Structure 1
């Protein structure tokens, strides 16, 4: 089986990581998702974040944080998720929309609430000194 190839927004505010709950899911994820045909990382992530949280990412601040690979959660066609993680500032107020029911700001002690790839992204953010 191939990896599920996704992009994710690593947004840290006051030392806490932004995570979202998608409709019908038991664990939390990072904002982002799958690329549509022809999309590069920037196009896919900015579209997904706009759909899920109603904010516009700032292109000038868009940076790759790293890539993580972890068991795919709730994805029967895939054994692992390969998640390219990016940081960027944003314009607008974060609000749950589309397939996202709610959003939360988590600290490292909340890792059990996250899907496996999001846990790996939390570890990546910790390694870069973004979280407390």
Structure 2
């Protein structure tokens, strides 16, 4: 039980989905405009979107390609606190792989795309680092 002057910090969950695209042992990352950090491409759902609907919409918006829904597979779900956010803010990232049509290109939301190896792990947020660790242990990430 909490005393009259104790405040309890309730966790805040930021629910996201992400596209895991690995080629030649490197994973695709994107840096949004105005930010100095790279992320796994994806984002937050709108309304009652499913993971798949969110993933397809976000990847089209960010990278101008169309994911093939029939090839999308769950890779894993990861959680971590976000640095620079208030205590208790946690990001949950449901990760999916899948084939795409089109040419990968940064959209108006994305400043830059890059292919990262495990050596670049420190350059992504903690939730992405958890994915990097898992992919490295599976032998998928160089």
Q: TM-score if structure 1 supplies the norm length?
A: 0.92
- State the alpha-carbon separation in 1 of the partners of residues 73 and 34 from structure 2: 31
Does 1:8 pair with 2:18?
A: yes
Map 1:51-62 → 2, pairs under 5 A: 51-62=61-72
Structure number with bigger Rg: 2
Does 1:33 pair with 2:43?
A: yes
Show the counterpart of 1:99.
109
Point out 4+ residue stretches in structure 1 off by more than 3 angstroms: 73-78
Does 1:79 pair with 2:89?
A: yes
Deviates more, 1:15-24 or 1:119-128: 119-128
Q: How many residues align?
A: 132
Q: Which runs of 5+ in 1 are unaligned?
A: none
Q: 1:131 to 1:36 in 2, by over 3 A?
A: same
Look up the SS of the partner of 2:139 in the other structure. Answer: coil
Q: Which runs of 5+ in 2 are unaligned?
A: 1-10
- State the alpha-carbon separation in 1 of the partners of residues 115 and 42 from structure 2: 16
Q: 1:73 to 1:53 in 2, by over 3 A?
A: farther
Give, in angstroms, the shift of residue 78 of structure 1: 6.3
CA RMSD of aligned residues (A): 1.6
Q: TM-score if structure 2 supplies the norm length?
A: 0.86
- State the alpha-carbon separation in 1 of the partners of residues 32 and 84 from structure 2: 11
